[in-house]
Structure 1
Amino acid sequence: MSLALTPAIRDLLDSWLTHERAIKGASEATLRAYGADVTGFFAFQAEYLGGAPGPAALRGLGPRELRAWMADQRGRGVGARSLARRLSAVKGFFNWWAERDGFDATAILSLRAPKHQRRLPRPLTEDGARDMIDGVGEQDARDWVAARDIAVITLLYGCGLRISEALGLDARLIPLPEVLRIRGKGGKERELPVLPAARAAVDRYAALCPHDLAPGTPMFRGIRGGALGPRAVAKVMEKTRMQLGLPSSATPHAMRHSFATHLLNAGGDLRAIQELLGHASLSTTQAYTAVDTARLLDIYQSAHPSARKRA
């Protein structure tokens, strides 16, 4: 696809990705996805227009060219959710470019993404979460590997960490403090209380781990001593959920959903849970929690001033 980019457009794309990394704190995985999505858009336009478009041609794109690209994507089997993500990346690039160089990108920025049904998270039950933590410890005969897997899953569920955040912890944090400072998406920092069970799980793993957990190195290690990858965690959870008869939605990220839902079920404050998860928007936190209507009414009745007044 690099042939679809003129040198000027390549420089623009690189500058935008650098901006996303430096200013917005985008992860390397996010930057790779952005780059692929925007480059794919340029590749289509090169074919559609009969040659790699330069800056002037791209600034002149209108609804016809954009709708043609979207139709091509759908024809290739790209789902509504994936197409919406790709369009978001294209809009992000053009919005940055238009602000930098002072041109009107309304034709692109006003294009609407295809509608798609939002997938609601499916947390585990409290028993399911406990069974998952116990179960991952039975998948490997090596004590240190079993202890490692228990420690990782306990952190996901006990602290509401993203898998990338748990696997990004530095060994210098052993033993875990009572409060963790985590830098999440967009460079947003938050503080998380660490449950005694999570601290104990990490301590046991550290005591058994055969690799040198020196400061400045990853806390969680793979078999050969390198950084533990997210795929390894997903695989041990996949094996465990099949044994336990848990749904396919019982993934590492589901432990984070479960953390939020179970806190709210226990009477936790939604705003406080938002801070613990590191969400910028309360609506995102609401989507993370699966609490039935009866429970929400209970929370309202016990907490809302007007409800207390009537009582």
Structure 2
Amino acid sequence: MRVNGRVKDAAEEFQSYIRLERNFSPLTVDGYRKDLEEFFAFLEGEGLGEGTDIRYPEARLFVTRLYDRGLSRATISRKISSLRSFFKFASARYGIDDSAFRSLFHPKKEERLPQFFYEEEMERLFEANRGTSPKELRDLAILELLYATGMRVSEMTGLKVTDPDPSLDIVRVMGKGRRERYIPFGHYAREALETYLAEARPRILKGNKHDRLFVNMKGTPLTDRGIRYILDGMVERAALHSPVHPHMFRHTFATHLLNNGADMRSVQELLGHASLSSTQVYTHVTKDHLRNTYMNAHPRA
């Protein structure tokens, strides 16, 4: 059994809508597309979806299948949000009933604190990855800029040569939803960037002509996967044995700022969070830091 054609038409128009009118990033649009395709495949596999309206039991069964696969609550919640947004759009444009996903509850969030590097670990990272080759200069500039700005890896791969302004120590970043923000950085990142641009990037380009700031060793724009590979190697050279993912540098940026007295609103602005609640997860980390400091320092702790 195939999913109703009007529902498929609505899905195609929805993807165009979020890409062109809402200015969602290609990565976000692709995420919505995959969530919709997964739901349609479920309907067809269950012999459902011939009509235009999806009932609550069908939506509930889909979520149950997600739990059966062992997906995290955050992933399931994101898929529910994707489908809820789609059916709200389909209801307005095509008259398709959206009550099934409006009635679904999001799973309770898992209390997982963000992982981050301690300041001593960051120092080891920098010390272990200094060098003079074009590759080493590029890698150090990536590390310095990630730690100095807290930008997402996807934001870093989108940077153009003209986005950082070393004269003002500030970088222009295009974030989620095409929201533009400017992030300051310090003299360590400035020096690493200036050295990379003057001594490394022209040699790595190998005659290629494009305006992306960071390039791979073939001279073409560096991808998200490429940066992850670079960071894995840098962590390995520093002999840090904890599991690492690129977002840890973003968590580290926020945690170190708050631990050293930055206010929550400023950190929210720097991270490009639309809501303060997204930033507040770091308060748990800073409370743990304060508690550990107290227990280690107070004579009667």
Shorter chain as normaliser: what TM range?
0.7 to 0.9
Whether 1:120 and 2:113 are equivalent positions in the alignment is yes
Contact 1:241–1:248 (Cα < 8 Å) also in 2: no
Q: Which of 38, 41, 46 is the equivalent residue of 1:40?
A: 38
Contact 1:261–1:288 (Cα < 8 Å) also in 2: yes
Whether 1:159 and 2:157 are equivalent positions in the alignment is no
Cα distance in 2 for partners of 1:154, 1:20 equals 34
Q: Which of 29, 35, 55 is the equivalent residue of 1:62?
A: 55
Whether 1:83 and 2:70 are equivalent positions in the alignment is no
Q: SS at the partner of 1:66? A: helix
Question: Residue 188 of structure 2 aligns to which amino acid in structure 1?
Answer: A
Contact 1:4–1:43 (Cα < 8 Å) also in 2: no
For residues 106-156 of structure 1, the C-alpha deviation after alignment (integer angstroms, 9 at most, x for no partner) is 222121133351432111111212222333446xxx711111111011111
**1:45–1:286 CA distance, 2 compared to 1 (3 A):** same
For this pair of structures, how many residues does the alignment match?
A: 287
Counterpart of 2:128 in structure 1 is 135
Cα distance in 1 for partners of 2:194, 2:188 equals 10
Alignment identity in percent? 30
Q: SS at the partner of 1:181? A: strand
Counterpart of 2:27 in structure 1 is 29
Q: SS at the partner of 1:29? A: helix
Q: SS at the partner of 1:225? A: coil
Cα distance in 1 for partners of 2:253, 2:85 equals 32
Question: Residue 263 of structure 2 aligns to which amino acid in structure 1?
Answer: D
Counterpart of 1:244 in structure 2 is 238
Counterpart of 1:306 in structure 2 is none
Cα distance in 1 for partners of 2:65, 2:126 equals 45
Q: SS at the partner of 1:191? A: strand
Q: Which of 190, 200, 206 is the equivalent residue of 1:199?
A: 190
**1:133–1:213 CA distance, 2 compared to 1 (3 A):** farther
For residues 246-289 of structure 1, the C-alpha deviation after alignment (integer angstroms, 9 at most, x for no partner) is 35443321111111111111111111111111111112112145
For residues 11-43 of structure 1, the C-alpha deviation after alignment (integer angstroms, 9 at most, x for no partner) is 211211111122333221221221111111112
Q: SS at the partner of 1:169? A: coil
The equivalences for 1:4-15 within 5 A come to 4-15=2-13
Q: Structure 1 residue 88: deviation in Å?
A: 1.9
Counterpart of 1:266 in structure 2 is 260
Question: Residue 277 of structure 2 aligns to which amino acid in structure 1?
Answer: S
Cα distance in 2 for partners of 1:163, 1:280 equals 18
Question: Residue 187 of structure 1 aligns to which amino acid in structure 2?
Answer: R
Counterpart of 1:291 in structure 2 is 286
Counterpart of 2:66 in structure 1 is 73
Cα distance in 1 for partners of 2:187, 2:130 equals 18
**1:294–1:216 CA distance, 2 compared to 1 (3 A):** closer
RMSD: 2.7
> Could you list the runs of 5+ residues in structure 2 that have no partner in the other structure?
294-301
Cα distance in 2 for partners of 1:113, 1:175 equals 42
Contact 2:141–2:196 (Cα < 8 Å) also in 1: yes
Q: Structure 1 residue 226: deviation in Å?
A: 0.6
TM-score, with structure 2 as normaliser: 0.84
Question: Residue 286 of structure 2 aligns to which amino acid in structure 1?
Answer: V
Q: Structure 1 residue 215: deviation in Å?
A: 8.3
**1:230–1:295 CA distance, 2 compared to 1 (3 A):** same
**1:154–1:129 CA distance, 2 compared to 1 (3 A):** same
Question: Residue 9 of structure 1 aligns to which amino acid in structure 2?
Answer: V
Contact 1:271–1:282 (Cα < 8 Å) also in 2: yes
Counterpart of 1:305 in structure 2 is none
Q: Which moved more, 1:184-193 or 1:77-86?
A: 77-86
**1:9–1:103 CA distance, 2 compared to 1 (3 A):** closer
> Could you list the runs of 5+ residues in structure 1 that have no partner in the other structure?
299-311
**1:45–1:294 CA distance, 2 compared to 1 (3 A):** closer
Cα distance in 2 for partners of 1:128, 1:294 equals 15
Counterpart of 1:181 in structure 2 is 172
Cα distance in 2 for partners of 1:232, 1:166 equals 11
**1:260–1:163 CA distance, 2 compared to 1 (3 A):** same
**1:189–1:258 CA distance, 2 compared to 1 (3 A):** same
Q: Structure 1 residue 68: deviation in Å?
A: 2.0
Q: SS at the partner of 2:181? A: strand
Question: Residue 8 of structure 1 aligns to which amino acid in structure 2?
Answer: R
